[in-house]
Structure formats: C-alpha cells, structure tokens
Chains A and B, each alone.
Chain A
C-alpha cells in the first residue's frame, strides 16, 4: 500500500506539473533481453474485406439483367416477386441495405463537391447501373432489385387507389427530397437519405425508435397504398422516373394490340395506367390559354421558390456541425446558456480561436445562402414543369403504363385478356413440348 501511495503522488505530480496533452509522462522501460514487444499493427489492424463490394456490384448487375428479362421478356409477375424476395434477402437483410443506389446519389455529389473524397467504384456502379438499365429497359430496378421497393411490394395486399390529384402533388416530394439531400451533402452537413432511410433499421435488425416507427408506419400504410416510399419520397425513384421517359423498351400492359377492353384500368396499385384520350375533342382554346399562362407563370414560380429557399437558409444551415458548434460556443461565451457540451469542450481543447470558428461558420452560411436559393429555384422549376406537363395534352390511343410512374411490377399483365391468351398458348406449346419429350 505504501508503494501505491508513492505512485499516486508521482502521478499527481506528473499531472499537475505537465502539460495535459503531453505524452510520454513515463519513460519507456529498459527491458532485459528476453522480452519481445508485441506489434500494435499485428494485434489491432484487421483488414477490410474489399471483395464484398465487387460481389455486390456483380449481384446488382445480375439482378438488374434478370429483372429486366422477367419484366419485359418473360412478362412474369411471379418471377419478379421471387427475385424481389431474393433481393430483399441479399441486399436488404444480408448486406444490411448498404450500399444502395438511393444512397449512392450522395457519394456522387460528395465526390463532385469535395475534392478530397474519391468515389468508390462500387458506389459508382450502384449509382450508374440502375440508371443505365432504366434508360434501356424501364424501372426494372424498382420492380425486383431494390430491397426497399421489394419490402413494400410484399406488404401491399389490399391496394387502395390514391386520387390522381393527390398522387400528382405528392409525386413532387421526391424531387424536393432529392434537392435537399444533394444540398446537405454538398455542404458537408449530413447524408440525409441514409439518415432517414426508413427500412435500413429493419435490415440491420436494430434501429432507433423514431426510425422504427417511421419505417413501420410506412409498411402499415404500404398495406393499402402501393409503395409509399418509392412514389412519394424516394429521390432515386425521381431520377429513374425522369430517365425512364427516354427508355428504349418498357412495360406494355398488353403483349400485342390493345383491344380497349378496360379490364386493366384499375389493376395498377401505383396509378401508373393512363387511359386513352377521350373521343370528344377538347376545348382547344381553353387548353392553349392555360398552357400560355403556365409558361408565363414558370419564371414567377421559380423566383418565388428561390426566395423561399433563401429564407430557409438559416434553418438548413443549422444542420451543419460547424454552425451548431459556433452557435453553442457563442451562446456559452455570451452567457446565454448554462455549462458546456462535449462539443464546445472539445473545441476549446483544440486551442483554435473562436474568431476562426465564426469565420468558418460564416463561410458555411454563405454557402447555404447560395445553395438554398438554388434549391428553392429547383423546386420552383419542378413545380412549374409539372404544371406544364399537366397542361400539355397528348393523344393516347390505348391503355398504357406511364413510364415515369410504372415500376414494372407486372401486376397488370394478368388482367389483360390478350396476355392471358398468349400465356395459354405458351403453356399449351410447352405442354406439347413436354409430351413430345415424354413420348420420345
């Protein structure tokens, strides 16, 4: 015990006398020859498993190809469901929903905004591959590759139609979400999409209570409303919707000529089926006036959006750690708050000047001022473009899937009598082939 006290006193002396940050308070021992010192790196540096990323990328490519084939070539809803479950199991539960194309948007933005960050190859593949597939084959990714889509598709048992006007309006939300996520990543605030991923907590089987409630609510809603996250939130879905307008091949409800039987009319739980244009000619004049007015209103809407965005700059800026730290330090120095936080303590321990912190925060704020203005203008543009689209009439002659909304789930196929007919013939042909085989 005596030696213990002596040691404690030495310790106290070392503590009081020395700089708090100083290292090597005690000299390294002079061991007798027998001792060999363990190697830190050998003990504590397990390597990354780099192969996993490439396996994931390969799995993604394979799943996309298969999904495209099942949706467009085979026209098999059952196949898509099975593939969806497999994707949910692998990309979702096995790989914990990470990495996913939705989140990869942010990596791409970060790579553009931050020169110190290089885009990982897997992230690039995950971001680009579904877009390229969509460009050629429509949103097969959403149908059966995306684990978030798959989990929602599975729970959709009792679809209720969302009124067209409501779906139109809510369909704008993903663009706002996309813009906000891009802004926050570019400014270095947070990875919004990952942070509020509703299902990743399920995939990991551990999540905070708030996100569990969010995810569970989406699933409960998803029992009645088809894929609420995909349609009304998913920022990657917004991108895919844009790209799929240009797609080379896409889902056609009927395999041949539409016989206008109207059986498929209510078959789509996502409201993606558009009806043929009415026979009676519309009032062209009124349509033209509305179009002209919308065109005139477009700059106004964009301007209003920019103003609104600028007004939101302080709120957005508060998502940034530097702004929050600067505010906390300022409040503490101004005597407006009690005590200190770990953050402000850590900042003061660095010995950096508060002036530098405030100036850094000022630079961040200036970035947000520009960024939120652009974001607001972008949202205004999206609203304006949507209004414009509504005002534009296109002549449609048959029941078809709106390329932007259709997620290629294949539900409508089984409602089409032409398809049923085709399938019967196919089965008969296969049966005949089997019989032939048997007899041979």
Chain B
C-alpha cells in the first residue's frame, strides 16, 4: 500500500501536464485577484471618509436653512453610510490581499512543481562540449568592457535627461540679489539720469527737456514728423518713460495689470510684464473714477529695472528684459478718485506716495523701498489726506530734499532717511498738480488754495516765514505747473494759461486757449509745449507775452504728459504710443 502511494506521488510529481495546468489555474487566479485589487484600490474611498464633499455641501445647505430637519436626518444617514462603506472597503481589501497572497504561494509552488517535473524528464546535465579557451575568455573580457562602456553611456544619457528637469538658476538669482542688497547700493549718477526720461515729467519731475533739438511740428493724419506709432495693448493715462532704447508704459483693467517695453528704434513691443500672482493682491477697487482708471501712476526706472504701481497697490519691479525681480502689494489705499501718484526713484530708493483717507486718519505715508528687493527702507507717516500728485527731489545748497504735496501740507523730507525737514500749510482740498522747482523756489499749487513760492531753506513749520510770494489767479485742478527761472506757467483743465514771474509772483499775462487739457506742460529750451485732450499740441515762446510758435495735430486724444529725448518726443495717445522725430 505504502509503495503504491509512493509511486502515485512520484508519478504526480513528474507529471508536467498536471503541474503546468495547476500553474496556469493558480496564475490566472493571481492575475484576476491582483487586477481586482488594483481596480478596487484605484476606485478610492478613503478620502471620502475623512473629507466628504457631499457632507460638506449638505452642511452648508443646512447653514442656509437651519431648521431643515429632513436635511439633518439625511446628513446623519449619509455620514453613517460613508463610515460603513469605509470599513467594508477595508475588510474587502484585506480579504483580497490574503487571497492574493495565498494564490501567489500556490502559484509559486505550482511553478516549482512544473519546473522540477520538467527537469526530471530531461536528461542529466551533460558537460558542455566547448572547452574553455583563451580566445573565448578574451572575447568575454572584451564584451564585458563594451557592456560597461554602454552602461556608462546609458547612465550619462539618463542623467542628462534627469538634469534637464530642473536647474537651480532661481537660487543663483536669489543669492545674487541677497548679496547685491548687502553690498553698497549701485545707482546711476545724476548726470546719467538726466540723459534719460526716467519718471513722470522727466529726470527732475519738472517737465523740462535736457535736449533742445526736439521736434515742434507733426501731423497725425499724414504721418509727417512721426517716426512710428504702436498700439498699446491696454490703454491708460500714465505717461511714457524712456531709458536708452526702451520706452516703458503700463496699462491695467480691473483684473489685468501689465507693464510694456517698446523699442525706441522701431516702436515694436519688446515685452509685456504681467503683474499677477502677488501675495495679498486683490482685483479692483470697484469704485474707482473712470477718468483715473486702474493704471494712472506713471512707471519709473533706475536704468536697470522698471517699477510700476497700480490702483490696487500692486507694486512690481521688472528688469530690462521683462523678468519680474520683485513684487508686493501695499494694500489698497482709501482714495476716492483712485490711486494716481507716480513712482519716483532716488538713488537706490523707490519712493512711493501712499497718501490716503483724511489727515485725521493718520494713514497717509511715504514709503522708500530698496529698488533691489522691494523691502521698506523708511516710512514717514503724514498728517494729510489722499493726494494725486507726484513728488520731486530737489537739490538746494548741496542737500537733497523730497518735496511732497497733499492737503493741507507741503512737506520736505531728507530722501535718504525720511526725516522731515520743513513743512508749510498752503494747500487745501484735493491736490493733483505736482510741485516744481525753479529759481531757487518750490512752487506748489492747487485749486482750493493758492500758488505758493516757498524758499526751501527753512526748518519746522515755515508757513509764516518762508513763503516768498503767493498768487491766486488761474489755479489748476489737475495739470501741474511748468517753470523756468523767469516764468511760471499755470494751465487749467479748461484752457486758461496764466504766466507769473518766478522771482516776484507778478502776473505777466493770462490767455484763454479754447481747449481742454489733462497733460502737464513741458519745457524744451525756450519753448513751452501744451497738448490738449483732443491731441492738439501748441508750442509757445517762453517769455513775458503770449506767443504761439505753432500747432500740431495728433488726431488722437491725449491725457498723458509727453517724454522728451534726443531729437524725439514720445506721446501716449488714448490708443497708441507715438514717437515724434525725424530720425
């Protein structure tokens, strides 16, 4: 009996067919179980258990209708169902895993059985017929060398593919920026800055061109005297800024904010810098005045980067190739017409007028940011209300002063530190015209108050002591004044031009030009440039009497102030950017 059993077992052991079939059946079982497990696993379910979107939705529905008892019941039922489903799933997965494990054991055993049965059938191993020879050994050595070389090449290829997935250029930039910020600041010297038009109203913010060879006639209809014109993607009323062969502008809607760089030679749009994804930034504000728009402030440049601020207080710096260097959001200021003060650069500082609300709120301030990284260097809190003008930096007796205007104060600060130097109370109401400096006098003006000529050598409150003269005729509400050492020009929005003598404040003349103006007047040599809202440029002779030298029609409305360069004037129309000139 025992012998019979043993022979049966031996027969079965060497039965290749039985072994193969068992292996096939167990293999199929394993495959099916594995596939089912994977499918079940992929179906998911654990997430629902912890974070059920369905329950969350029902809970928020309940919050809207707290008395809905039926909904409460549904939530409870669904909650229970999800828990039950979760634990049922775990149980099923467990069962599946153990089934799979058992199947695998059976499968491997069957395979081993099949292998041993097959090998039992085969003849015993016969020694190889080929004797090991030197030649064969040499061949093996050679092929090993080649295969190692091939592996090295494959590894190098894989490495190259892997490397291409990520570089550390960002770290280089970040570390360079940190080191740069630690090093003494590098900035363009004033002489270099004066060759360009780096901010609203030119190098010193006075609307004075350093070049006398600028054109004075052109024709928008015929294109005569116009080198190029390019459509600006998003129109706005901020003014062009020029450095070298680049013209910068910005444009914005409620939801989009962009900085543009144009080529001075061709007018081609070199790049568009998108101002987006700034932490803390929000779209808006909603209640902005249409005339102000979302991009009223003019950009500023230091010669290496361009800085732009928008109505929602998004502030961004781009390098000259359009890569964003830094950006931050200052928080939307409380400003009833919409934020409009332009940025200015002083040495390595970007000075931001952040006036808002009323003098009593104490929320108005000036900020000086490090142009390299946007970090605040100093901050000056100001007892003033919201304002729309752009400050200037003047040099008086070798010292620099930052002149700021807002209801009701003109305040001068030391621009490096933000320390207040002097103040004068000579403004009232909404202040939009920017200050100018001529003949050693700071000239400030707005409709609610007066034109004041302030001697900038005082300290403390100089209202009573340092106002050299004041005048009250022809006060502008938006347009900034322009001045030479001899004459000050005021231009109102509805076209009243008033000329005073700078030294004394004596009115030289007034002239009603029957046009509307938003752009500020500019000076090139002895010529005064005025550009009306309809795009009519009037060139006047600077002098004690009104003398028109000529007029030029652009054929497109203009609200922005022009930028002057060597032999050229850049004018931003409502849709296009124009370059006037002949070469």
Contacts and interface: CB of A to CB of B under 8 A. Distances in A.
A–B touch (CB < 8 A): the answer is yes
Interface string A370-398: 00000000000001001100110000000
Interface string A144-155: 000000000011
A262 B130 CA distance: 11
A155 B104 CA distance: 9
B545 interface: no
Interface in B400-432: none
B229 to A, nearest CB: 30
Interface stretch (A115-123, A127-135, A237-245, A310-318): A310-318
A314 B159 CA distance: 11
Interface in A388-414: 390-391
A277 B278 CA distance: 73
Contacts of B141: 290, 390-391
**Best-surrounded residue of A212, A323, A333, A338 (most CB of chain B within 10 A):** A333
A278 B128 contact: no
B127 interface: yes
B398 interface: no
A279 B325 CA distance: 74
B148 A386 contact: yes
Contacts of B274: 335
Given A157-B114, A334-B324, A390-B141, A169 B147 contact: yes
Contact of B134 (A168, A282, A383): A282
Contacts of A391: 141
Contact of B111 (A157, A216, A326, A335): A157
A58 interface: no
Interface in A41-67: none
B145 A387 contact: yes
Interface in B136-179: 136-138, 140-141, 143-148, 150-152, 155-156, 159, 162-163, 165-168, 170-171, 173-175, 178
Nearest to B154: A169
A154 B112 CA distance: 9
**Best-surrounded residue of B166, B174, B275 (most CB of chain A within 10 A):** B174
Nearest to B161: A315
Contacts of B316: 335
Contact of B140 (A164, A286, A334, A354): A164
A277 B132 CA distance: 7
Contacts of B151: 169-170, 172-173
A315 B147 CA distance: 26
A35 interface: no
B171 A335 contact: no
A26 interface: no
Given A176-B155, A315-B166, A362 B132 contact: no
A308 interface: yes
Nearest to A318: B166
B326 A333 contact: yes
B4 interface: no
Interface in B324-341: 324-327
30 contacts: A157-B114, A158-B111, A165-B146, A168-B148, A169-B148, A169-B150, A173-B151, A263-B125, A265-B128, A266-B128, A267-B125, A275-B132, A278-B132, A281-B134, A290-B141, A308-B159, A313-B168, A314-B167, A318-B165, A327-B171, A330-B171, A330-B173, A335-B274, A335-B277, A335-B278, A335-B316, A358-B174, A358-B178, A359-B175, A390-B144
Interface of A: 154-155, 157-158, 163-166, 168-170, 172-173, 176, 205-206, 209, 212, 216, 223, 261-263, 265-267, 275-283, 286, 290, 308, 311-315, 317-318, 323, 326-327, 330-340, 348, 354-355, 358-359, 361-362, 365, 383, 386-387, 390-391, 415
